[in-house]
Structures are given as structure tokens and as C-alpha cells.
Structure 1
Amino acid sequence: MKLPESVLVLIHTPQRDVLLLERNDALRGWQSVTGSRASADEPLRDTAVREVAEETGIVIGSAAVPATRLVDLDRRHVYEILPAWAHRYAPGITHNTEHVFTLQVDRGTPVRLSPHEHLRFEWLPWRDAAARCFSRTNAAAILDLGATAR
């Protein structure tokens, strides 16, 4: 069963282009990197590092992407779990807490998708990325990123 605590990682360039991934499921929506904690004692930062590597192939802590570029914004969103995904959680779990991180990468950083999770990716200017997200919390986090990164 999934834990009701996850990370949202906004991967972006210094120019504020944001990486979005198209889901490979019935929803087929666009989103940033997301994922749940593997265990209750997994540090959220480790969850973010793991999910970025699994979903994009980007290795945080490598020479190309120093660990200091992963920033915990100390921002949380609590939202109701969609009925289509409720079966992934223990009975009675109705809400998830999402912790927001950013990861700045250089323009041209290679992306290797996990084919069972995503169909394709795009780098979009932050406003366009926010408009394309299916998740309101993801869109809000991208708008905050764009507004504060001036």
C-alpha cells in the first residue's frame, strides 16, 4: 500500500523552462515528477532523489547535477486522493500530503523516461507548464516558482 505522503519535484532550467511528463495511464495528464515515500522512515529528500532518477534518469549528486540544486521549499499541499487511485492506499485514507522541491538543471540535460510511467516529456516556459498541468497543486507550485525566480 502507498503511503499518503509524497513529493512534487519541479525540474527547471535557469531560464525557468519547466520539465513536464505525460502520464502513461488512463488519466494521460501532464505533471512534474511526483512520487510517494517508499517507507515511513525514508527522508523526503531521498524520496525526491529516487523519484527524479526513476522518472527522468537524472541523477542528483552527479557532476552534472550537484545535490545542492535540489531545494526543499518547505511547502506542503494536502489534497483529496482521486477515487481512481484510492485502491492504492489503506482503507480509510482519503488525503495525501505533498512536499514541494525544486531542481535546477542546465538547459540540454538529458531526460530518459520510465516507459511504464510516462509517454513523453516537454520543456515549457513556466506559465505554459502551469497551464498544461492537470493537478492544481502542481500548477500552483510552478506559478510560485516563476513568480519568485525573478
Structure 2
Amino acid sequence: MSQYKIPESVLVVIYTPALDVLLIERADKPGFWQSVTGSKDTPDEALLTTAIREVAEETGIDATQFALRDWQISNVYEIYPVWRHRYAPGVTQNTEHVFGLCVSPDVTVRLAPREHVQYQWLPWQTAADRCFSASNAEAILLLPEFNQN
């Protein structure tokens, strides 16, 4: 595996049928709340595989047991300078692919303590307001349109 992150990632909005959204707080940036995100491990890793792996790694949730959907939305954004050292020299943009995962309201969440320190379930509008990432907030605001429980 390369020493650098691949600048292609997934964003997985995890939500309940009542449209409560799971947000997790980053361990390396207290106060930065987000949905599950993560880069492909290899250039040829399928995006669905990346989404399933990242959800399991970050929340302990088995996405294969719930309705995981590719929303067919891609965002290209500038990588925050604080995280650019993780990418190859000269890489400044990432392509993020958005997924939605509808889970039961009683699903157990087990955070990866090195990545996230706490989680909360919030109504979708409140969750969108809490996200530090504009693309994450925009994805959450689309939730009513993509919700298919």
C-alpha cells in the first residue's frame, strides 16, 4: 500500500427512518463533526467496498445488514491544508462519492477511538448545521430526497 492517501473517497450519511443522522467527532480535530468518510485503500477498490469498510472501521456498523445506497453524487473539493501531508506532493483536491445508509434506530455504534471521540444522533437539519464540511452538510440536506425506507 502506498504511503500516501488516494485522493478519492466516500462520504456515508448514516441515518434512521425518522431522518436522525449519526455524526462523529474527529479525534484529531475536536469540535469537527462529520459523517463517515474515508479514502480508497487501493486505486482499484470499488467505492461500495470502501463505503462498507469505512462504516465498519469508524462505527462498528455492518453496512451489509442495512440499506446502503450510492446516491450517484460526486464532489470535488480542496483538501484542507492541515491534512494535505497525507497525500502525494502536489495533490490538493479530492473526489468524494456520496452514499446513504439507513439503519435501525437501535443500531449499536462502536467508534474507532484513534479516529473519533464521540457520536450523536441529530435531526437531519441540525446535523447539517453541525458539520464542518460543506459537502457533508449539503449531502445531509439532500436526505429527504434520497430517503427510501
Would you say same fold, with TM above 0.5?
yes
1:53 equivalent in alignment to 2:56? yes
What does 1:10-21 correspond to in 2, within 5 Å? Answer: 10-21=13-24
Residues 60 and 148 of structure 1: CA distance in aligned 2, closer, same or farther (over 3 Å): closer
Asked if structure 2 preserves the Cα contact closer than 8 Å seen for 1:20 and 1:32, the reply is yes
Q: Is the 8 A contact 2:71 2:146 kept in 1?
A: no
2:135 paired residue number: 137
Identity of aligned residues (%): 57
How many residue pairs get matched?
145
- Taking a change above 3 Å as real, the CA distance of residues 147 and 7 of structure 1, as seen in their structure-2 partners, is same
Output the aligned Cα RMSD.
1.3
CA contact (8 A) 1:80 1:96 kept: yes
Pick one of 115, 123, 126 that aligns with 2:124.
126
What is the deviation of 1:146? 3.0
Where does structure 2 lack aligned partners over 5 or more consecutive residues? Answer: none
Unmatched runs of 5 consecutive residues or more in structure 1: none
- The equivalent of 2:68 in structure 1 is 70
CA distance in 1, matches of 2:105, 2:86: 36
Q: Do the aligned partners of 1:3 and 1:39 also contact (CA within 8 Å) in 2?
A: yes
Cα-to-partner distance string for 1:52-102 (whole Å, 9 max, x where unaligned): 0000000122xxx24xx1100010010001111111000111100000000
Point out 4+ residue stretches in structure 1 off by more than 4 angstroms: none
The match for 1:113 is 111
Match of 2:37 among 34, 42, 45: 34
1:5 and 2:8 equivalent?
yes
* One-letter identity of the residue aligned with 2:142: D
Q: By how many angstroms is 1:108 displaced? A: 1.1
CA distance in 2, matches of 1:149, 1:109: 18
